[in-house]
Amino acid sequence: MRESDFIAEEVPVAMVYNGATFAVMMATPHDLDDFALGFSLSEGLINDPSQLLQMESHALIEGIELAIRVTDNASAAHLDKERQRLLPGRSGCGICGTRELEQAIRHGEAVGEGQVIARDALEQALQQLHSRQPMNAATGAVHAAAWADREGRILLVREDVGRHNALDKLIGAMRRAGFDPGDGMALVTSRASYEMVTKATSAGITVLAAISAPTALAIELARSAGITLVGFTRPGSHNIYTHPHRLQPPAPRETP
C-alpha cells in the first residue's frame, strides 16, 4: 500500500554580504528574513539590526542566495579570506569551514542579570512546545527553538533541519519583535552544544533550556557568560548546570 508523506526541505543557502560570500549553510528555506538577521548577529557580522539595510532572496538552480546589504561600518562589509569559510555549514554543524581556533570558540560579553523564572513556567512552556512545531509534526525531521515569557507562554517558535539555524531564526525574530532577551527563556529541541550557548550569549539570552544534554564546553561557556543552562528538560524534571538562581523552585505546598 502506497501512502503520501511529508519530507523536510534542506537546501544550500548562501549568505552573501555586499557581494562577498561568507558561508553556505544547509537550512530549511523558511523564515529567511529572520535567518539572515539572526545569523548576522550571532556571527558578529553586524552589531545591531540597523546595520542590515536590505535582504533579497534569490532562488537559483543550486539553492538559495541571500543577498544581504549592510552598512559600511558593519564587520560584514569588510570580509576577507581569513573570515570566509572554507566548507559549507551542514545542517548539523554551526561552524563548519571556520579557519581559526579563535573563530571556532568565541567568548562574548557576559549576559545581563535577567529575571527570576518559576520552574512551573518552564514546565508550562515545555508542554506547549510540542504543539507549536508544525513542520516537525509533519516530517519528524526538524528542530525548533522557542521563546517564552516569564509566565511560560510561548511567544515565538522557529523550525529548521539545523538546531543552530533554528536558534538563529529565533534570534532574528526576537530582535524584529523587540523582545527583551533577559525577560524570558529560550527552549531548544536539541542538545545544548557550545555553538548554541555562543549564539544565545550573542543575543543576550539569560536562560537556555535544552531537551537533550549539554556538552562540557557548553557548560563552561554558559558559566563564564552568566547564562542559566538547563538540560534534559522533561515533564516533571530537568537539570540545571549553571547559574541556578534564575530558576525559582515551586512553592512548598501547605499541609492541612
Closest C-alpha among 156, 143, 246 to residue 195: 143
Tell me the pLDDT of the chain (256 aa) as tens digits: 877 788 999 999 999 999 998 989 999 999 999 999 999 999 999 999 999 999 999 999 999 999 999 999 999 998 875 555 544 545 455 545 444 444 555 566 899 999 999 999 999 999 999 999 999 999 999 999 999 999 999 999 999 999 999 999 999 999 999 999 999 999 999 999 999 999 999 999 999 999 999 999 999 999 999 999 999 999 999 999 999 999 988 666 555 5
For residues 49 and 110, the answer to whether their CB atoms sit within 8 Å is no
Terminal C-alpha separation, the chain: 60
For residues 131 and 199, the answer to whether their CB atoms sit within 8 Å is no
For residues 229 and 242, the answer to whether their CB atoms sit within 8 Å is yes
> Nine-digit cell at 70?
549592510
- Please tell me the distance from the alpha carbon of residue 111 to that of residue 208, in angstroms, as a whole number: 12
* DSSP, residue by residue, 163-187: HHHHHHHHHHHHHHHT--TTSSEEE
Q: What is the pLDDT of residue 111?
A: 95
Q: What is the pLDDT of residue 171?
A: 98
Instruction: Find all residues with CB under 8 Å of 165, minimum gap 6, and list them.
Output: 25, 27, 28, 35, 39, 91
Residue numbers annotated as active site: 93
Q: What is the pLDDT of residue 42?
A: 93
- Please tell me the distance from the alpha carbon of residue 248 to that of residue 55, in angstroms, as a whole number: 41
- Please tell me the distance from the alpha carbon of residue 158 to that of residue 107, in angstroms, as a whole number: 25
**pLDDT 10s digits, 53-78:** 999 999 999 999 999 999 999 999 98
- Please tell me the distance from the alpha carbon of residue 126 to that of residue 25, in angstroms, as a whole number: 28
Q: What is the pLDDT of residue 107?
A: 62
Q: How many residues does the chain have?
A: 256
**pLDDT 10s digits, 32-42:** 999 999 999 99
Q: What is the pLDDT of residue 131?
A: 93
Q: What is the pLDDT of residue 83?
A: 56
